[in-house]
Amino acid sequence: GAGVSQSPRYKVAKRGRDVALRCDSISGHVTLYWYRQTLGQGSEVLTYSQSDAQRDKSGRPSGRFSAERPERSVSTLKIQRTEQGDSAVYLCASSPRQLAKNIQYFGAGTRLSVL
Amino acid sequence: AQTVTQSQPEMSVQEAETVTLSCTYDTSESDYYLFWYKQPPSRQMILVIRQEAYKQQNATENRFSVNFQKAAKSFSLKISDSQLGDAAMYFCAYRRLNNNAGNMLTFGGGTRLMVKP
């Protein structure tokens, strides 16, 4: 019965290093999303996957962002060569099916600070 | 591309009073969904209320209701009888009705609601 869980809650990284953020979604959910939330600018989707397929959302620069789904209910967002502009809260969300009416359930987010 | 705008970065309300949070959006679609999400400090976003664009009747969930003006592309949230627990960031969000690319949400910048005892 647990909701969407994200780890770590806080991450500090040196500029240029790679980071990996984990999301454990609700069991049985099919679609996983990663959003980036910046203060005053809302949240933008980074990527999503349906079941085992990974589909990237266009718009992220230079392909430094990618997500893997090693298990059906687990997703890892990887950010390569972090930049200071990557500092944000990264939100994971999942939904039961790829149907229009289904809502998304969010985790509490990982706050990434790039120094 | 769709955009969502929340023009009020912060709002405050006295406990037990009513407050309205504004949201406007831009889309060329005729059918879509609109949402209000609540995000308490350091906690996950939870869905407050949802509106289908093809429904003329405004959605209501207990103390929360919306004023959906489709022609004006406006979707405001009214919180009645405000409680201390309503203090949070509120995000307005848009989603296309059928999106084979994954039904992603487009969010506004958020409004921080403070509730004064």
Chain B nearest-CA distance from A59, in A, is 12
Per the CB < 8 Å rule, is A35 touching B109? no
Give burial (CB, 10 Å; 0-12/13-18/19+) of A96: middle
Nearest CB partner across the interface for A4, out of B44, B96, B101 = B44
Instruction: Tell me the C-alpha distance between A59 and A40, whole Å.
Output: 19
Chain B nearest-CA distance from A42, in A, is 4
Q: Give the pLDDT confidence of A54-95 residue by residue, as tens digits.
A: 554 433 445 889 888 888 889 999 999 999 999 999 999 998
Statement: residue A53 has pLDDT above 60: no
* Position with higher pLDDT, A59 vs B99: B99
Statement: residue A100 has pLDDT above 60: no
Strands A19-24 and A74-79: antiparallel
Q: What is the pLDDT of residue A99?
A: 58
Tokens for B109, please give them. 């910048």
Q: What is the pLDDT of residue B73?
A: 96
Question: Once rounded to an integer, what is the mean pLDDT over residues B9-26?
Answer: 97
Q: What is the pLDDT of residue A98?
A: 56
Residue B50: its chain A contacts at CB < 8 A?
Answer: 103
The band of A52, judged by pLDDT with boundaries at 50, 70 and 90, is low
Nearest CA in chain A to B35: A103
Which residue, among B69, B64, B54, B61, has the nearest Cα to B23 in the 3D structure?
Answer: B69
Question: Once rounded to an integer, what is the mean pLDDT over residues A22-40?
Answer: 88
Q: Give the pLDDT confidence of B51-97 residue by residue, as tens digits.
A: 999 988 999 999 999 999 999 999 999 999 999 999 999 999 999 87
Interface residue of B104, B106, B107, B111 to substitute, partner A, most A CBs within 10 Å: B104
Tokens for B103, please give them. 């039904």
For chain B, give the secondary structure using H, E and C: CCEEECCCCEEEEECCCCEEECCEEECCCCCEEEEEEEECCCCCCEEEEEEECCCCCCCEECCEEEEEECCCCEEEEEECCCCHHHCEEEEEEEEECCCCCCCCCEECCCEEEEEEC
Instruction: Tell me the C-alpha distance between B114 and A87, whole Å.
Output: 26
